[in-house]
Structure 1
Amino acid sequence: MQKSFFAILSLVIIAGAYGIAFGVPEQVSQFWGASTTETASAPQPARTGRQGQGRATTVVLTPLEARAYTLVLRTVGSAVSLHRTEVTATDAGEVVETALHANQMVEKGDVLLRLDDRTQRLALEIAQANRDQAQATVTRYEGLRSNGSSIVTDVAFADARIALRLAEANVGLAEVALDDRTITAPISGQLGLSDVSVGDRVSSGDAIVTIDDSTSLLATFEVPERSIGLLSEGKRVFVSTPTYAGRIFEGEITAFDSRLDSVTRSATVEAEIDNPDGLLLAGMTFAIRMTEDTDALPVVPATAITWDRTGAGVWIVEEGRVRRVAVTIRYREGDQVWVESDAPLGAQIVAEGASKLREGAQVTDANARRGSDA
């Protein structure tokens, strides 16, 4: 008997709590109203939905505002010097002089290495002597012809002039061959490591040293398909590296691929990074960030979003009652959600307490109540 009493008492308490939170179900209220009509003549307040017209739900309201959302793309890339070259030997020979000091700054035209050039110097002397002889012959023929002598025929004079031109060309070839024995810096920059030393013999095309002009770096990175809209020439990028924690280097996009990689579904992008102090080195790995603000979109607290079979929505308040409006979620950041919706800007939306509402429910603003109590 005692157990039955506690069971009935528990059911009564649960039913009472349900009625306080959600109102009396319509079927019960109708039955209850029909039975009490016979015993009570006082009119009862009408019920609206499941909330009850006479009792308002306390919620927190906030106006619907629109703000731009900042799209942020983070990716990883590596960089090379914007101006760089690998110096190679243009001829074969023995190294007789070097100025290859790693990390040394050189200017364009500075001598880096000399090869044994004795043979080339002798060849140049022979070519110069032949040129001088050809020049003397032409000069003599010109003097005879100017004096009216018929000894020098037109054919002989033409042959002498051709011989002079050939001799001058041979001198030019000999000078080029001699110049090739001296290797100079093709650009200004910083020397890399080199294993070439005096006494070594190099062949044509052998690598001598690298030169990097690191005042500007060219970073290469991949951008996924979903972020292609962020790309444009001249767009700013922000670069960081663990080597200089907390420091941001700026650059701008100079080029990007016209098609996506069929495997990674991304586009290759190149950006020029200013490096006037030479802190960044070619080959470093960088964290790269790009940002862009979208058009203004309605933004709501995450607690304002509710879900049902139709999808996401928010509750807006009109004349003290709520109406659910569907929304499409575009972006999230922290406790803020950017959405697309037909709800008018400035409308009061339920920021807290939305989960316990029903269509047409009467609500009061908790903030307004606090103000009146104060």
Structure 2
Amino acid sequence: MYLYDHPGGKYVLEECRGKEIGKYFYGAYSLDDNIKVHKHSFVAGKIMKKIAIAKLKLPMDIDNMVTFGGEGKGDGRDHSHELYNGHFKVTRKDEIFKGVYRVTFSNENNHYKIVLPGTSTFGRHYLIHSESQKVSRYYTICNSMNSEIYPVYINNIDRLIGNSRDEKLSLDNVDDITESLQLTIKFYEQSRKGLTRLLANVQDEDEFLVSKPMGKGLDLSADSITGTNLVFLGGTGVLPFLDFFVFLARMIISEKSPSDKIINNEEFEPFFKHSSFKVYAYYPNANEAVALDLLVKISDLFSHFKEEERFSFTPVFTRQGGDRLNDQKIYEFLDQASRASDLKNIWVCGPPKMNNMFQRLRKTIERKYEGSAVDIM
């Protein structure tokens, strides 16, 4: 059994059971404070392929997200090997929040579908690789941060809650087939190497390889989310969830004001009406809060329709007097949620300190709140 042959020890494999491990395997994150970040070698990759028991087949609509040449319509075939061999250049970088950039990758031979109804891409990511520097990193798929899409949500929610008299905008009118892929990336000043540093100082001649959507994504089945779900975020940790949050906004608009639907033909599973999501987001200050305006508006939208029990957003600014997250506060939030209804998911995505806190408490939480599951993105 490879469990006992793993050079990093069996603890790592046991703790990662059932998880998406790409961010650990490629050296983007460590499992906890006591384990150093480790980028696995080519040999390790070959070993992993030998002991793999199955290959995950992605949903058809993910295959249709990316096409090659032609008219920009997916043919249902697996193009992952073609995409990974495609060369992309960074053609634009725009700072959208402090230290956070919208980075545009372009290749005139590849076409991307950026408006995709449904939930299959939520929580998944692209793997970006630099051949010249031999570095790779995962970056989250977050189509709602696209420069054409984000303003549509801001505008339409403002209209509905009475903050604007602008005309309704529709994603049906957005040209959703594009040769450019936009990713939202935080550039860390202290980073001296790695792909993020390379992207921060990208030159015109630098080329990158981009994989198709990877990872298991969010489990949004009826059995998984019917009940109360808590989401703990920090910094850019909102990105794996933002597409889902705007999906919930589209859903409540469809229910309460059908004439204002943002995607006209979109339909929603009825079990979402029996699921609630309470989001706690921790930021240093408001200037560094990614998508804060949109998240507040989504929360206001649910309040406007008197459905605040189904979605709420609580931002905490730790450098502006807000209390930092600790064990006691975590259990207070969990106790409060479990009294209201069955506690199902505790989703976590934040800086290492936040993730490690939940990693340390995970087994205790899942024992104490039977039926719940802690998932650290």
What TM bracket, shorter-length normalisation? Answer: under 0.3
TM-score normalised over the length of structure 2: 0.18
Q: Look at both structures and tell me which one has the larger radius of gyration over its CA atoms.
A: 1
Structure showing the higher strand proportion among its residues = 1
Q: TM-score, normalised by structure 1?
A: 0.18
